[in-house]
Amino acid sequence: MEREGIKSFIKFAYEDPLSYNIIWESLFINREIFQDYYEQFAQRHILGLEAAKTELEEIDLETLAYILMGIANFVGLQVIFKKNNKIKLSDKDFDFYTDQIMRLLRSGIFLDKNQK
């Protein structure tokens, strides 16, 4: 479920950067709208995480929701920048970005210091 949500969000950012920009621009126009958007997004995300709680490490779900939103947000910016640079992305590219995120979520970013 998480994988498809991430991929959909990244594709949304690439396909409709204007809508994506509006969310960020609301921060400067009306901070309350920006905050409400992300708090509501987080609450919906928490519901999904609660449903999958048995598959997760023990972690605060609200913090995890914001971590996941942050990852998706900034990879969303990455694909928007590619579009701005006239780089056309395919579904295969969106799978690549999503796979990179999922690999990070499954394995972390740090090498196991005990491995040689």
The domain limits of the chain are 2-107
Predicted structure pTM score: 0.88
Which residue in 34, 36, 68 sits closest to 49, CA to CA?
A: 68
At 14, the pLDDT band (50, 70, 90 cuts) reads very high
Question: What pLDDT, in 10s, does the model give residues 48-106?
Answer: 999 999 999 999 999 999 999 999 999 999 999 999 999 999 999 999 999 999 999 99
Region 18-26 average pLDDT? 92
